[in-house]
Amino acid sequence: MLKFSAYNYSDEIQSQLKAKLLDILTKHSCQDLLIPVFTCVNELLMNAIKANYKNIYFENYHDETLPYDQGLKLFRFEISSERIDHLTDIAKKNHKTAVVSARIEKSVLHIDVENPYPMTKLEKENVESKLEFSEHIHSVSDIFDVSERDPYKEGAGLGIIFVAIMLKSMGVPHSKFIIKNDGSKTVSSFSVPLTEETVKFYNEYKER
């Protein structure tokens, strides 16, 4: 139903993605869910693009004699400077895209966001820790807790927590949010029922 690919992230990509999601939600009379659904997809897409950049950086630029945490510091400097364009160019040349896929089955919206690199053991442990933490989160302030407890400050934690918060705001069970290795790629998935009940739950949640 929807297939959206991106090498990098920009205002134009954000606008296109939001418009496509609004079209899907409007057809099912669930346009009130645009903010939480878009927030979830947006965060996961940015994480996937950043994961591509990180893998490209470690494959092409990282000095293997440096410890991993120092390599991450250098990587963060790369993506905060104009040198990020070099990573984008390599991603385009090697077709390393982040892909958003959406489909509807029995009034349930299923979203997959993937990038063409599997998680390393350390990344997988970090993500599993964030998912476990997000199951018990109660407020945005809890995010700072999990960020401080991440020894490598990988950066994916904030996105994962925001997705968990948005899914909870729609009454979506934690079990419907999954991040896993799937062969040679990483796939983040979540599902949202496009029903009156979901819209009502979200609107009531906003009023709390």
3-class SS at 170?
coil
pLDDT confidence band for 152 (50 / 70 / 90): very low
The confidence score (pLDDT) of residue 130 equals 84
Per-domain boundaries in the chain: 2-206
Report how far apart, in Å, the C-alpha atoms of 43 and of each of 38, 66, 67, 129, 172 are. Answer: 8, 29, 28, 18, 17
The confidence score (pLDDT) of residue 119 equals 92
pTM: 0.86
How many C-beta neighbours within 10 Å does residue 103 have? 13
Mean pLDDT confidence for 110-118: 96
Q: Name the architecture of domain 2-206.
A: 2-Layer Sandwich (3.30)
Average pLDDT, rounded, for the chain: 85
Pairing of strands 177-182, 108-115: unpaired
Q: Does residue 37 contact residue 163 with C-beta atoms inside 8 Å?
A: no
pLDDT one-digit tens code per residue, 189-202: 999 999 999 999 99
Q: Does residue 187 contact residue 175 with C-beta atoms inside 8 Å?
A: no
Mean pLDDT confidence for 81-96: 82
pLDDT one-digit tens code per residue, 137-146: 766 666 655 5
Q: Does residue 174 contact residue 135 with C-beta atoms inside 8 Å?
A: yes
pLDDT one-digit tens code per residue, 59-82: 876 666 667 677 777 777 777 666
The confidence score (pLDDT) of residue 206 equals 87
pLDDT confidence band for 185 (50 / 70 / 90): very high
Report how far apart, in Å, the C-alpha atoms of 103 and of each of 100, 107, 111 are. Answer: 10, 10, 7
